[in-house]
Amino acid sequence: MDHPNIPDVSYNKNNELVDLNYENTDLFMEIDKLKSEVNALKIENKEKDEKIAQLRNDLRVKNNEIEELKQAAATFGTTASPQQTDSFAEREAAYKQFIRFRLDLVFYFIRFSLIDEDEFKAAKYRIDKFFISSYSEFKELVKIQKKNGNFPERHKYEG
């Protein structure tokens, strides 16, 4: 008898005396088995949560390293601040776009040199007009950035 007020025996449907501990042994074993499975799942879940936290921490560290490398690369060879390097990046992107445009021009001229002379002159005029406007936009960007003092007068990307 486990508890003084709860009997260990009871009567079943046929009014026969039945030992409750014997009848419920399988249920108790099943409950214990389920409890151990739940505990194992909790432990596994905790391990996975710890692994996720570790991976997040590793990711945060790598992101910080990447940012430091970006800043170091952007300011390499200069005494520029990160705000100044943003303007350097804009200026460099504009310059690269300008260079790409000039290369496109070379290909256009090669193509147009293979076609009729009148078509070549008309196309050359359109390209010249576009080239001049593109170059003037680039020069204007450089002028604005120099005026704002976003970068030193002499810089490795300055032509």
Position 35 scores a pLDDT of 92
d(CA 36, CA 22) in angstroms, rounded, equals 22
82 vs 33, which has greater pLDDT? 33
What are φ and ψ of residue 124, in 5° steps? -60, -40
**CA 55 – CA 47 distance, rounded (Å):** 12
C-alpha–C-alpha distance, residues 63 and 75, integer Å: 18
pLDDT tens column, 32-67: 899 999 999 999 888 888 888 888 888 888 888 888
Nearest to 150 by CA among 50, 95, 83, 62: 83
pLDDT in the model for residue 27: 75
Q: In whole numbers, what is the pLDDT of the chain averaged over residues?
A: 69
Q: Taking residues 67-73, report their average pLDDT.
A: 74
Residue 112's pLDDT is 60
CA distances from 51 to 43, 56, 57, 65 (A): 12, 9, 10, 21
* Contact indicator for 157, 88 with CB cutoff of 8 Å: yes
Q: Who wins on pLDDT, 112 or 35? A: 35
Confidence (pLDDT) at 1: 45
Residue recorded with tokens 């108790």: 28
What pTM did the predictor assign?
0.33
